[in-house]
Amino acid sequence: MSGPVVAVTADTSMLSWTIWKDVPAAVLPLAYLEKVTGAGGSPVLLPPLPDAVEEVMERVDALLMSGGQDIEPARYGAVPGPYALPPDPVRDEAELRALAVAARRGIPVLGVCRGLQLMSVSRGGTLHEHHPRHSPKVPGRYDRRTVRLAPGSLAGQVMGASASVYCHHHQSVDVLGAGLVATGWAEDGLVEVVEDPSARFVVGLQAHAELGEDTAGLFKAFVDAAR
């Protein structure tokens, strides 16, 4: 029997490989797909195409929001600060539409890094635009951190009282979106995990959950919730 079908949001980039050069492409680190299949799910890439995502989202069992570039600051009533990275408004729009369908259908949603941030923004939340202490020491490399998890929370039940995770982010949630509660924190109190306790499964992890072993239980709970 095939596992639940999980739509995984893809990024856009200009790539060159074999005979192709500087081709616009939809891309995603393989680790996301491996984590879904390892948990018993069947992943499909959700392209950053606003006119396509809604129909795809009607046919899947869950939504995994992947990491990526900064969200357009205007989405949460801000202007770009000095450390802002170039946003992708088309991807933002596509993923907001995907989240809207997921919410209407009540299917499980797991957000990773940018995914968590967009989940909150979609509900009226805002972001801290830059955290010097949480920015990667070396661009492109992940820093390992320990996050503390709330007892009784969904994340706490599947990952324990604390978890060792891999981080690569310079932004984080400021004001949480409606219905979301913080259930995990970094050592300095920065929000690292959020959940919607009224939903079957709506969880966001600021760290890159596609990496490391401590998040395997979270992915299994996510896929199981989609069955």
129 catalytically annotated: no
Q: Are strands 172-173 and 42-46 parallel, antiparallel or unpaired?
A: unpaired
**What is the number of other CB atoms lying within 10 angstroms of the CB of residue 55?**
9
Active-site residue flag, 34: no
Marked catalytic residue, from 134, 168, 169, 208: 208
What secondary structure does DSSP assign to 93-110, as a single string? HHHHHHHHHHHHHT--EE
By residue count, the chain amounts to 227
H helix or E strand, kind and range, residue 172: strand 172-173
Check if the beta carbon of residue 193 is closer than 8 Å to that of residue 9: no
* Active-site pick, 72, 95, 113, 195: 113
Query: How is the chain split among helix, strand and coil, in percent rounded to 5?
Result: 30, 30, 45
Check if the beta carbon of residue 124 is closer than 8 Å to that of residue 179. Answer: no
Known catalytic residue at 210: yes
Catalytic positions, please? 113, 208, 210
